[in-house]
A and B are shown apart, each in its own frame.
Chain A
Amino acid sequence: MSESIDSNTMKYKLINLYQQNRASILEGLPENMNRYRDAAIRDFDRMGIPEKGEEKYKYTDLMWAFGKTYGYAFKAHTINVDSSTLFQCAVPDLDTHTLILENGWFYERNNEHAALPKEIVACSIREASVTHAELFAKHYNQQAQEHPESVSVFNTAFAQDGMFLYIPDGFVMGKPIQIINLLRGNNPLLVNQRNLIVAGKNSQAKVIVCDHTLSHQNFLSNTVTEVFVDEQAVFDYYNIQNQHNQSSQVASLYIYQKKGSNTLTNTLTLHGGFVRNNVFVKLAEEHAEAHVYGLSLIDGKQHVDNYTFIDHAVPNCLSNEMYKNILDDDATGAFNGRILVRKDAQKTRAYQSNKNICLTPTARFFTKPQLEIYADDVKCSHGATVGQINEEAQFYLQSRGIGGREARMMLMYAFAYEVIRNIRVPVLVERYGELVERRLRGELSRCEGCFVHCN
């Protein structure tokens, strides 16, 4: 397959791949997961792979990710490493329940090491579709269906495994749950991972998702995560993206919020050749709150595009969004933040801010905030800036004896810290801060304590 393949040819190749392997994909999975597949592939046929310039992909060429040659695994490989030694996080006090997925498949011995409280259900989505059939059927593909995106219908058609997490009503997690997604292979690989998280009424949980690559092949991971947050639940979702710079990642996160629930999502992009994050938040019942944050620090020829869609469907909800990007070398970044305040969603408060620093003349940034408001008693605002490090601030620091490089570093760190400080796990604030600082210094090759040598 040549690199210059067009999106239409690629679409038919993928549809063919589905049709030829339909039996393997469906094998061993119940109807409640398989029933969406054929319709999804028809939708994918209709929608195609969005071309650059289409409104939602105005600044991102998905073919950079999709136009390469990948292999596809329809069966899980057994992980041949001793997982008990895998992840000992070196940042003191970051004590988590760790779960591992390799190439989108749930590691079967996870529960031996994760030491999760017995109330929590953490298993592969394959397993959940059978053992928790009712819960699964109630939530699976419900949100993704509401926003039929090309990448998510593609996932729905192909997905065979991923993470399922259920926090029962009233349960408060003491420690965060860390989900580590590993990509490894001797050949380029396309992975469709599908996650489903259900947070019960009055429950509280924090999930940290780390995306890593273990080998230097071209990977494309196309992940769909659906999160259902029930009444009064508090749910945090932190995603640390640190894949090597030839890999591509398309991550779609769907969050559905019930009455009085409170969510926080934070996407930190440290490395990754091509990253597209879609975040859809639906504030479906009153007094729900969503905090959506993102930070990316990119260089080389990396491309990061954050797309968010906050849907204020009912009155009295709050959303607060902040995305920041620091771009070095020839990196390109894009942000598209859509806020929809539906008719009669009065007393909505929706805030959005997108701030960007371009460090070099060749770094480019595109931003497109978007407010659509159909109710009158609302307070909505958005702000966007693109600029460089303030020379006066740098001069001030230098005049006090701080070296030029160090001063720049401090200013960049301070810029990034505005996002980091919103994290609701105090030790994670420290850890993020450290990761960001090391990333800014160009020292970061891997997350501290992780056996993975990402770069």
Chain B
Amino acid sequence: MSDQDTILNDVTQSEYKYGFVSAIESETIPKGLNEGVIRLISAKKNEPDWMLEFRLTAYRNWLKMKMPEWAHLKIPEINYQDIIYYAAPKQQAKYESLDQVDPELLETFNKLGIPLDEQKMLSGVAVDAVMDSVSVKTTFRDTLAEKGIIFCSFSEAVQEHPDLVREYMGSVVPPTDNYFAALNSAVFSDGSFCYIPKGVRCPMELSTYFRINAANTGQFERTLLVADDDSYVSYLEGCTAPMRDENQLHAAIVEIVAKTNAQVKYSTVQNWYPGDKNGKGGIYNFVTKRGLCQGKGSKISWSQVETGSAITWKYPSTILLGDNSVSEFYSVAVTNHHQQADTGTKMIHIGKNTKSTIVSKGISAGQSNNSYRGLVKISKRAEGARNFSQCDSLLLGDKCGAHTFPYIECENNSAILEHEATTSKIGEDQIFYCNQRGISTEDAIGMIVNGYAKQVLNTLPMEFAVEAQKLLQISLEGSVG
């Protein structure tokens, strides 16, 4: 046991390796939130009137809303007037080639291992990098444009494809949806926009990398992904932030629309700064992610590896509207030190013969609390709906907590719903078995954790699976073989 304790202690020693600050000058607006600030953000981005109206309506709604309290989280009070709602790397000109990009910025992304560099063409990933809420660089745009795929920053999309943005923005996550969605809708500064035309199979993985760099700022980005009939896209999202003593707020919205027979795969590796060993600092990650399987036979699959953030409040959900539509949710959530996570999914079955699968694996260590919260709703006309949910929790240490709050609402008797959950620690017998075969305790824990998370890691695209494994390694240092 003492060996195991040592290893678990090592876990609590691990440091956040993305915690550097880049010396990039950024342009910020004063702290605080009011209509003036929203008008200023809108003006800075040179937005059309309908966009400003959208923001202001959202803001007025937000004022009437209360911060939700139902999550199994202890959230210190957030002073919304003490946040800078807009920060952008100063050099705002459009980049034609990498040479014009601020070398500090490039260095930042190199440190993060992001293939922003065109030389990394071979890696075949188109990247939209968002730093402090502003999209810095989108790669491979021309290659994608040949196929008719639009992949650009949200601001550009507002200027260049206003009709598409107007049609879909807010259609899946309305600005009145919840407190943080309303806040985001009011102040979002940038994000990614992606449109896959009919019948197109996106030839490469699309990726957005988010980074908070400036101090005292909140990051509020929006992602809108529309997959037209018979199209396919795999989308990756990653995020990091510097180490700071204060808490920073990240409230994002992701909207996905999948039309007839379209398939969208959305993968996230979330690694915001989780705070230090004593729970100081870290990002509050309050994200609303929702997909709409609008057309028949459409499919949305969510994969997420959550290792960062001081507090995570996130439920990637799918509305299965089209008949025969399918959705999957695979998640590994790791919490350590004083991190708190309340995460899960919602599967709302409306169309006939819709199917959903939920696999959630929680790992808690240190003094963290990790909750799975999920809803499976079978509405009255969802004939023949099928759901399978599994949520397992693994406890490493006796000071952490693992919780599950699944909600199942069934209004149609032809539905078949299954839910199972287990909570346990790594069995001493399992470790003994490995020891007995000459595998050290450290490696044994690594093997077991890896095996435990494998079902989810296997669903990630290659690019990410490698990174996700590395992350697990750092988050539970020394335990992954």
Contacts and interface: CB of A to CB of B under 8 A. Distances in A.
A210 interface: no
B420 A382 contact: yes
A361 B414 contact: yes
B397 A371 contact: no
B422 interface: yes
Contacts of A362: 413
A387 B417 contact: yes
Contact of A371 (B70, B403, B416, B417): B403
Contacts of A368: 405-408
28 contacts: A343-B398, A346-B398, A358-B410, A358-B412, A361-B413, A361-B414, A365-B408, A367-B410, A368-B405, A368-B406, A368-B408, A369-B421, A370-B403, A371-B421, A371-B423, A372-B72, A373-B403, A374-B400, A377-B398, A377-B425, A378-B425, A379-B422, A379-B424, A380-B423, A385-B418, A386-B408, A388-B413, A388-B414
Return the 5 tightest CB-CB contacts between A and B, nearest first.
A358-B413, A376-B395, A386-B410, A384-B419, A380-B423
Contacts of A287: none
Contacts of B253: none
Contact of A384 (B396, B417, B422): B417
B410 A384 contact: no
B404 interface: yes
Contact of A372 (B395, B403, B425): B403
B416 A387 contact: yes
Contacts of B347: none
A383 interface: yes
A369 B374 CA distance: 11
A376 B419 contact: no
Contacts of B407: 58, 366-368
The B interface, classified by DSSP as helix, strand, loop or mixed, is strand
Interface in A221-253: none
A368 to B, nearest CB: 5
Q: B400, B403, B410, B413: which has the most chain A beta carbons within 10 Å?
A: B413
B68 to A, nearest CB: 12
Nearest to B404: A371
The interface size bin for chain B is 35 or more
Contacts of B396: 376
A382 B404 contact: yes
A388 B415 CA distance: 8
Nearest to B8: A376
A360 B380 CA distance: 11
Nearest to A357: B413
A201 interface: no
A45 B79 CA distance: 32
Contacts of A343: 398-399
A376 B424 CA distance: 7
A380 B399 CA distance: 17
A374 B369 CA distance: 8
B411 interface: yes
Interface residues of A, number: 38
B421 A386 contact: no
B335 to A, nearest CB: 13
A381 B398 contact: no
A370 B395 CA distance: 17
B421 A373 contact: no
Contacts of A344: 398
Contacts of B416: 385-388
Contacts of A282: none
A372 B408 contact: no
Nearest to A377: B425
Nearest to A368: B407
Given A371-B421, A381-B421, A381-B422, 7 more contacts: A361-B413, A378-B425, A379-B423, A382-B421, A385-B416, A386-B410, A386-B417
Contact of A375 (B72, B393, B398, B411): B398
A376 B412 contact: no
Contacts of B397: 376
A382 B393 CA distance: 12
B422 A380 contact: yes
Contacts of A367: 407-408, 410, 419
Contacts of A360: 413
A55 B70 CA distance: 8
Interface in A121-150: none
B409 interface: yes
Interface in B113-158: none
B400 A376 contact: yes
B308 interface: no
Interface in B433-467: none
A89 interface: no
B252 to A, nearest CB: 26
Interface in A186-239: none
Contacts of B419: 367, 369, 382-385
Nearest to B426: A376
A366 B409 contact: yes
A381 B420 contact: yes
Nearest to B370: A373
A39 B400 CA distance: 36
B266 to A, nearest CB: 27
Nearest to B418: A385
A364 interface: yes
Nearest to B401: A374
Interface in A341-364: 343-344, 346, 356, 358-364
Interface in B205-231: none
Contacts of B393: 371, 373
B428 to A, nearest CB: 9
B383 to A, nearest CB: 8
B262 interface: no
B181 interface: no
A363 B400 CA distance: 40
B332 interface: no
Contacts of A55: 70
A303 to B, nearest CB: 14
A386 B415 contact: yes
Given A373-B393, A388-B414, A381 B423 contact: yes
Contacts of B425: 376-378
B165 interface: no
A360 B416 CA distance: 13
A378 B70 CA distance: 26
B405 A373 contact: no
Nearest to B405: A370
B402 interface: yes
Nearest to A338: B405
Contact of B420 (A58, A359, A383): A383
Contacts of A356: 410
Contacts of B409: 59, 364, 366
A398 B430 CA distance: 46
B173 to A, nearest CB: 21
Contact of B413 (A359, A372, A379): A359
Contacts of A59: 409
Contact of B401 (A358, A364, A366, A372): A372
